[in-house]
Structure 1
């Protein structure tokens, strides 16, 4: 079992310790971020129920929180942001005895070398429904300070829980993300989705998110304790099956993908210079377009 420390931890009941970090309420955005405050009217069209907003719909712009977006970051800054962001997130959940585990592309990155995939624009984690409801009651709309182990890096993250967490099925599809852990410097985030037994009588032991990902209890538990980006993390018990079900077997064997090549000697995904130049040019182009749009909105407002 790759990278696992062979320590399997059994999921326990939701008995939570009080927070070891001192949260600072994000009071100024409570009204703006309430279900009423975030519903936008579209004239005669049906009002949008969407809670989390991004600055655009492209692959790049769709992975920033609109409130904290200041421009598209470079690849190096995104790497640095995501590395410290996931460390802060995992440490926070562990310190507060809250159960969470890495999922989707983040889990695939762990499978290869215990790190994020370098081309991934966001990170993904999951929690059980009970944990989701708890953080919604106790930790929602709070900011948490972070200092790296060497004391050099200092950041602040917002834990923002979608008020639509009570709706455990897809609904209109506008709120499939249940919560986000957001870097307030640039708007990059971790998507947090909750798993629920939505039909315990008809399909007992089946856990589902609002984006139709389905898991059996035996595939999730007991969780395996491992390391991810240098900190303690958890992954589902049957991680191989989960990854194959979501990405097919080729995701575990193909060594060239999205302009990157797997180098077994250093156990890293190495990006080609051609892709690096292309991504930088695209970043500058989208940054200019975003700046023009922001200036236009500022003038019209």
Structure 2
């Protein structure tokens, strides 16, 4: 099992909190600032927009990104499980789980969700703490910062600058897990409807009871109606298409493979398949092809 140790960031954490307070006083609705955005990235494109600016030292390689994200999500899931805190994978991370229980290799970050109640607990007791992770083989040791956005208490979208409520950040390079909270924002008129600040909405029966499964080799929670959630967000084609973002799905290897790595045999098989009469895509059953759903 991975080893995790939790410590406070001490003076550095206090410095960041002081900087936030210097921007303006906090109220029950969140900090009152001129620049309302809390998390900053070194750029706005698909690559630079997926690093935390404070820890960015340059774009990492494909291999380093894969290694970073894999250990990062393992550390995150193990930490939440050991703390008895509820979290589940979501968005593109959930789609990767559906295919083979692993992250999508073209993703630059990972996505998880928590309830509003868990988010409040994180902000009160674990904000700006660092967590040391050691892999089971003890060959990898990493530090991660759990940083809760002070605007997380505001459950409406606002100006859209703070839709991410928290991050789990690799302090070596700035790659991160996005954490978003779900709340019953308007229980009086929409009871049982949970939403984040980026217009994703779910019914209680979509989420609960959470299912137990495995993601990247560690125990993970997934939403109950994962098939419906994925189709609503990505359409059914995302569960059918076998070529995307410079990768193809290898049924033999049961993983997404970069197209330049395709063997001659795989290329010939793919070509033959493309020459067959087109009868349209054959929908796959809405069940994961790799991970086991334990409940």
* Alignment check: 8 A CA contact 1:114 1:229 kept: yes
**Which secondary structure state, in structure 1, belongs to the residue aligned with residue 178 of structure 2?**
strand
Q: What's the CA shift string for 1:64-85, capped at 9, x where partnerless?
A: 0000001100000000000000
Which residue number in structure 2 is paired with residue 116 of structure 1? 103
Q: Normalising by structure 1, what TM-score?
A: 0.80
| 1:26–1:143 Cα contact (<8 Å) kept | no
Residue of structure 2 in register with 1:52 after alignment: 39
Residue 66 of structure 2: which of 79, 89, 92 is its match? 79
Partner in structure 1 of residue 132 of structure 2: 145
What residue in structure 1 maps to residue 165 of structure 2? 178
CA contact (8 A) 1:55 1:65 kept: yes
How far off its partner does 1:166 sit? 1.1
SS of the residue corresponding to residue 32 of structure 1 reads helix
| 2:249 aligned partner | 262
Paired with 1:120 and 1:206, the residues of 2 have a C-alpha distance of: 28
Could you list the runs of 4 or more consecutive aligned residues of structure 1 that deviate by over 4 angstroms after TM superposition?
A: none
Runs of 5+ in structure 1 lacking a partner? 1-19, 40-45, 276-301
Alpha-carbon deviations, 1:136-155, whole Å to 9, x = none? 00000010100000000000
Q: Find the partner of 2:220 among 233, 247, 266.
A: 233
Shift in Å at residue 36 of structure 1? 3.1
Query: 2:94 matched to 1:107?
Result: yes
Distance 1:74 1:38, change over 3 A: farther
Q: Once the 2 structures are TM-superposed, how far is the Cα of residue 37 of structure 1 from its aligned partner?
A: 4.0
Per the TM alignment, residue 26 of structure 1 is displaced from its structure 2 partner at its CA by 4.2
Per the alignment, residue 12 of structure 2 pairs with 28
In structure 2, what is the Cα distance between the partners aligned to 1:210 and 1:52? Answer: 15
- The answer as to 2:121 corresponding to 1:134 is yes
Tell me the CA shift for residue 48 of structure 1.
1.4
Indicate the residue corresponding to 2:231 in structure 1.
244
- Aligned position for 1:271: 258
Task: Work out whether residues 23 and 34 of structure 2, in 8 Å CA contact, stay in contact via their aligned partners in 1.
Answer: no
| Equivalent residues of 2:51, 2:176 under 8 A apart | yes
Unpaired segments ≥5 residues, structure 2: 25-32, 263-295
Residues 26 and 70 of structure 1: is their aligned pair in 2 closer, same or farther, counting only changes over 3 Å?
Answer: farther
Task: Tell me the alpha carbon deviations over residues 130-180 of structure 1, each in whole angstroms, 9 at most, x when there is no partner.
Answer: 000001000000101000000000000000000011100100100000000
Decide whether the 8 Å contact of 1:32 with 1:38 is kept in 2: no
- Aligned-partner Cα distance in 2 for 1:186–1:38: 26
When the two chains are superposed, the root-mean-square deviation of aligned CA atoms in Å is 1.6
Count matched residues.
250
Cα displacement string for residues 30-76 of structure 1 (whole angstroms, at most 9, x for unaligned residues): 3334533467xxxxxx9210000001111100000000001100000
Q: Distance in 2 between matches of 1:82 and 1:31?
A: 27
The question of whether the paired residues in 2 share the 8 Å contact of 1:55 and 1:62 is answered with yes
